[in-house]
C-alpha cells in the first residue's frame, strides 16, 4: 500500500482525525493521564508499606475473575523518574495518581512512614521539575487492611476520623506543591463492587450475591459505605478549608463513576426508569454534595436501609467541593422493572426498579452525562479523571482503535465546552498498562505497553501515545505514525 493510499484510508476511517486541535480548548484546560497507587507502584512489601484491602482481595484470588496482583505491578515505585520523563516527553500538563494510605501510614493511623513520605515527595518534586501538575487522589480502593480488621473499614463511622487524620498528613506534607486534591475515587462503584456484589475489595456481600462472599450484607452495606465516604470527604474538605486553603490556595473535590443512561424503548415507563437509574447511580453521590440529601426516589425505594444525615452533616456535605471529578466509560440502556421492588431486600440492585444493559463502547454519549450534570447540579467545574479504551494486553502497539476512541471523546468534550459545560481538564486512563480492577493484566488501557515478561518492565509507546503527544503539542500527526497504522488489520 503506497503512502498516499495509507493517508486516504486513515482519513476515511477516522473522520476529522487531523482537524481536531488543542486550540479548540481554553488556554487553561488541562490534559493529562491517570494511574493509581496499587495498580502501578508495586513494591508492596518494601520500605514499611503494609497490606491494603486490595492486596488482600488480590491474594485471595480476585473473586475468581482473573489471576495476578499488585505486588510488583509496573514497579512505578522504583521507575518513577523514567515514567515522569516519558510524561514530559509526551507533553502532559498533569498526572493524576493516588497515594497509598498503607505506604504513608502503614497501620491506617499513628506514625507516618518516613520511606513512604520520601517516595511521594520525590514523585511530586519530579513532576513539578518537569512542569507537570500533580493531581492527587487520597483513596483509590485501597484502605489499609488494619482498619478493615479493626472495625470493618468503611461500614463503620470510625473511618471518618481516621480518614480526616490521614488527609491532614497529606495536606500538611504535600499541599505546598499539590493544588488539586480528590478525596475518594468512584464513591458509587467502590460501594457497589466492594460491598454489593463483592467483585472488588474488600469483597463484602451477601452469601448469595455474585461473588458469594463470606461476609457482608448487600442490601445495606453499599449504602452505609457510601454514606461514610461522603462524611469523610466533607470532614476532610472542612479541615482543608479551615487549616490549609488560605495558605496553600488549592482545590478539593470528589470523584464518581458516571454512566450515561438511555431508555431501552421510547415508553413512559422506560423514560421514568432512566431518570431513576440516574438518581441511583449519579445522584446517590451528587445530590448530597449539591443539596445535602439523597434523591427522594432512593429514600422511598430503599427506606430504612438508607442512612440519613443529621442537619449538621447535611450542611457540612452540601457544597463541600471545589470541583467534581468524573470517570466515564460506558452507556447503559434502561428497561423499567418495578416488579423488582416486590422481592425480598437481599441486594441493592432491585432498589433501582430497572434492568440496565451495557451498550457497545464506541459511542460518545459522554455529552449526555455532561449535559445532565450541568442541568441537574449547576455548572460546577469538572475534571474528567478517567476515560479510556480496552484492548487485549498483548495486542499490537498500533492501537488504531484507541486513537479513534480518544479522537471521538476529546472531540465530544470540545463540543460540550462550546455548549457551556464547565470542564477544566481531561485525563486518559491510563498512562501505561496497569493492574486493572476487573481484568488484572489480561486487558490494557494504557498509552504505553508494559512488557510484563521483561524483568525491567520496559515501557513501549503505543501509536496512541504518539497521537496524543502530537495533539498535545498542537502538531499534525507525523507521517511515520500514519505509516505505522498501515499494518493494523483494523484498517482492512
pLDDT digits (tens, 9 = 90+) for 50-95: 999 999 999 999 999 999 999 999 999 999 999 999 999 999 999 9
Cβ-based neighbours of 370, under 8 Å, separated by 6 or more: 382, 413, 416, 421, 423
- Indicate the angle between helix axes 284-291 and 221-243, nearest 10 degrees: 40
The answer to whether 355 and 393 have CB atoms below 8 angstroms apart is no
252 within a domain of the structure (yes/no): yes
> Residue 266 is part of which domain span?
19-475
Q: Are strands 391-392 and 443-444 parallel, antiparallel or unpaired?
A: antiparallel
3-state SS string over the chain? CCHHHHHHHHHHHCCCCCCCCHHHCCCCCEEEEECCHHHHCCCCCCCCCCCEHHHHHHHCCHHHCCCCCCCCCCCHHHHHHHHHHHHHHHCCCEEEEECCHHHHCCCCCCCCCHHHHHHHHHHHHHHHHCCCEEEEEEECCCCEHHHHHHHCHHHCCHHHHHHHHHHHHHHHHHCCCCCEEEEECCHHHHHHHHHHHCCCCCCCCCCCCCCCCCCCCCCCHHHHHHHHHHHHHHHHHHHHHHHCHHHHCCEEEEEEEEEEEEECCCCHHHHHHHHHHHHHHHHHHHHHHHHCCCCHHHHHHHHHHCCCCCHHHHHHHCCCCCEEEEEEEEEEEEEECHHHHHCCCCCCHHHHCEEEEECCCCCCCHHHHHHHHHHHHCCCCEEEEECCCCEECCCCCCCHHHHHHHHHHHHHHHHHHHCCCCEEEEEEECCECCCECCCECCEECCCEEECCCCCCCCEEECHHHHHHHHHHCCCCCCHHHHHHHCCCHHHC
Alpha-carbon torsion (371, 373, 378, 381), positive or negative: negative
Residue 381 has pLDDT above 50, yes or no: yes
The answer to whether 287 and 220 have CB atoms below 8 angstroms apart is no
Domain tally for the chain?
Answer: 1
Q: How far apart are CA 221 and CA 203, in angstroms?
A: 11
> What is the model's pLDDT at position 344?
66
Task: Compute the average pLDDT of residues 222-251.
Answer: 98
Task: Compute the average pLDDT of residues 170-185.
Answer: 98
> What is the model's pLDDT at position 152?
97
> What is the model's pLDDT at position 484?
54
> What is the model's pLDDT at position 227?
98
487 within a domain of the structure (yes/no): no
**3 — pLDDT class (breaks 50, 70, 90):** very low
Task: Compute the average pLDDT of residues 38-47.
Answer: 97
**479 — pLDDT class (breaks 50, 70, 90):** low
12 within a domain of the structure (yes/no): no
Per-position b or e across 331-357, b if 16+ CB within 10 A of its CB: bbbbbbbeebeeeebebbbbbbbbbbe
> What is the model's pLDDT at position 361?
64
The mean of the pLDDT values for the chain is: 90
C-alpha to C-alpha distances, 151 to 109, 154, 160, nearest whole angstrom: 13, 9, 12
**11 — pLDDT class (breaks 50, 70, 90):** very low
Q: What is the CATH number of the domain that holds 108?
A: 3.20.20.80
pLDDT tens by residue, 148-169: 999 999 999 999 999 999 999 9
Q: In percent, how much of the chain has pLDDT > 90?
A: 77
Name the nearest CA neighbour of 431 among 140, 121, 84, 30.
84
pLDDT tens by residue, 310-342: 999 999 999 999 999 999 998 888 988 776 766
382 within a domain of the structure (yes/no): yes
480 within a domain of the structure (yes/no): no
The answer to whether 272 and 301 have CB atoms below 8 angstroms apart is no
Q: How far apart are CA 24 and CA 64, in angstroms?
A: 45
* Better-scored residue on pLDDT, 141 or 356: 141
Residue 255 has pLDDT above 90, yes or no: yes
Q: Which residues are catalytic?
A: 186, 386
7 within a domain of the structure (yes/no): no
pTM of the predicted protein model: 0.92
Q: How far apart are CA 149 and CA 1, in angstroms?
A: 62
> What is the model's pLDDT at position 356?
85
**431 — pLDDT class (breaks 50, 70, 90):** very high
> What is the model's pLDDT at position 19?
65
- Indicate the angle between helix axes 158-174 and 114-129, nearest 10 degrees: 50
> What is the model's pLDDT at position 107?
97
> What is the model's pLDDT at position 70?
95
> What is the model's pLDDT at position 141?
97
End-to-end CA distance of the chain: 11
Task: Compute the average pLDDT of residues 110-130.
Answer: 98
Q: In percent, how much of the chain has pLDDT > 70?
A: 90
> What is the model's pLDDT at position 492?
32
The answer to whether 186 and 256 have CB atoms below 8 angstroms apart is yes
Name the nearest CA neighbour of 486 among 463, 470, 469, 466.
463
**103 — pLDDT class (breaks 50, 70, 90):** very high
The answer to whether 292 and 359 have CB atoms below 8 angstroms apart is no
Residue 5 has pLDDT above 80, yes or no: no
**360 — pLDDT class (breaks 50, 70, 90):** confident
**483 — pLDDT class (breaks 50, 70, 90):** low
Q: How far apart are CA 175 and CA 240, in angstroms?
A: 10
316 within a domain of the structure (yes/no): yes
**211 — pLDDT class (breaks 50, 70, 90):** confident
Amino acid at each position: 500500500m503506497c503512502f498516499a493510499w495509507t493517508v486516504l484510508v486513515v482519513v476515511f476511517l477516522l473522520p476529522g482525525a487531523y482537524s481536531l486541535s488543542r486550540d479548540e480548548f481554553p488556554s487553561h484546560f488541562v490534559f493529562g493521564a491517570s494511574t493509581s497507587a496499587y495498580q502501578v507502584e508495586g513494591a508492596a512489601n518494601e520500605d514499611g508499606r503494609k497490606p491494603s484491602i486490595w492486596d488482600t482481595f488480590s491474594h485471595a484470588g480476585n473473586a475468581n475473575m482473573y489471576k495476578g496482583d499488585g505486588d510488583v505491578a509496573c514497579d512505578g515505585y522504583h521507575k518513577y523518574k523514567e515514567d515522569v520523563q516519558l510524561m514530559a516527553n509526551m507533553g502532559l500538563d498533569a498526572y493524576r495518581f493516588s497515594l497509598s494510605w498503607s505506604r504513608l501510614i502503614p497501620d491506617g493511623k499513628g506514625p507516618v512512614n518516613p520511606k513512604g513520605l520520601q517516595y511521594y515527595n520525590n514523585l511530586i518534586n519530579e513532576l513539578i521539575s518537569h512542569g507537570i501538575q500533580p493531581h492527587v487522589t487520597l483513596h483509590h480502593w485501597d484502605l489499609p487492611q488494619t482498619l478493615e480488621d479493626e472495625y470493618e473499614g468503611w461500614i463503620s463511622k470510625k473511618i471518618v476520623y481516621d480518614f480526616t487524620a490521614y488527609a491532614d498528613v497529606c495536606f500538611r506534607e504535600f499541599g505546598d506543591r499539590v493544588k488539586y486534591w480528590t478525596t475518594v475515587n468512584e464513591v458509587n462503584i467502590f460501594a457497589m463492587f466492594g460491598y454489593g456484589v463483592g467483585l472488588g475489595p474488600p469483597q463484602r456481600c451477601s452469601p448469595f450475591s455474585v461473588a458469594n462472599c463470606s461476609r457482608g450484607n448487600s442490601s445495606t452495606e453499599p449504602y452505609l459505605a457510601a454514606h461514610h465516604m461522603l462524611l469523610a470527604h466533607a470532614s476532610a474538605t472542612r479541615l482543608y478549608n479551615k487549616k490549609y486553603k488560605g495558605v496553600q490556595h488549592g482545590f478539593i473535590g470528589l470523584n464518581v463513576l458516571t454512566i450515561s443512561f438511555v431508555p431501552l424503548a421510547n415508553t413512559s415507563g422506560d423514560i421514568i426508569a432512566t431518570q431513576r437509574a440516574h438518581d441511583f447511580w449519579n445522584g446517590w453521590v451528587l445530590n448530597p454534595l449539591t443539596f445535602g440529601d439523597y434523591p427522594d426516589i432512593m429514600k422511598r425505594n430503599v427506606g430504612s436501609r438508607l442512612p440519613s444525615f443529621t442537619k449538621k452533616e447535611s450542611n457540612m456535605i452540601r457544597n463541600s467541593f471545589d470541583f467534581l471529578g468524573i470517570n466515564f466509560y460506558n452507556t447503559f440502556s434502561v428497561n423499567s422493572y418495578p416488579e423488582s421492588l416486590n422481592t425480598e431486600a437481599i441486594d441493592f440492585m432491585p432498589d433501582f426498579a430497572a434492568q440496565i444493559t451495557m451498550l457497545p463502547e464506541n459511542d460518545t454519549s459522554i455529552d449526555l452525562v455532561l449535559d445532565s450534570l450541568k442541568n441537574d447540579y449547576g455548572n460546577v467545574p469538572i475534571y474528567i479523571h478517567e476515560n479510556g479504551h480496552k484492548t487485549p494486553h498483548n495486542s499490537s502497539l498500533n492501537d488504531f482503535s484507541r486513537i479513534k476512541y480518544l479522537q471521538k471523546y476529546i472531540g465530544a468534550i470540545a463540543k460540550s465546552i462550546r455548549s457551556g459545560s464547565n470542564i477544566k481538564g481531561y485525563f486518559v486512563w491510563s498512562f501505561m498498562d496497569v493492574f486493572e480492577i476487573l481484568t488484572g493484566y489480561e486487558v490494557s488501557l494504557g498509552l504505553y505497553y508494559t512488557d510484563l515478561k521483561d524483568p525491567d518492565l520496559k515501557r513501549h509507546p503505543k501509536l496512541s501515545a504518539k497521537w496524543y503527544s502530537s495533539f498535545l503539542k498542537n502538531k499534525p500527526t507525523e507521517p511515520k505514525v500514519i505509516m505505522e497504522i498501515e499494518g493494523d488489520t483494523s484498517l482492512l
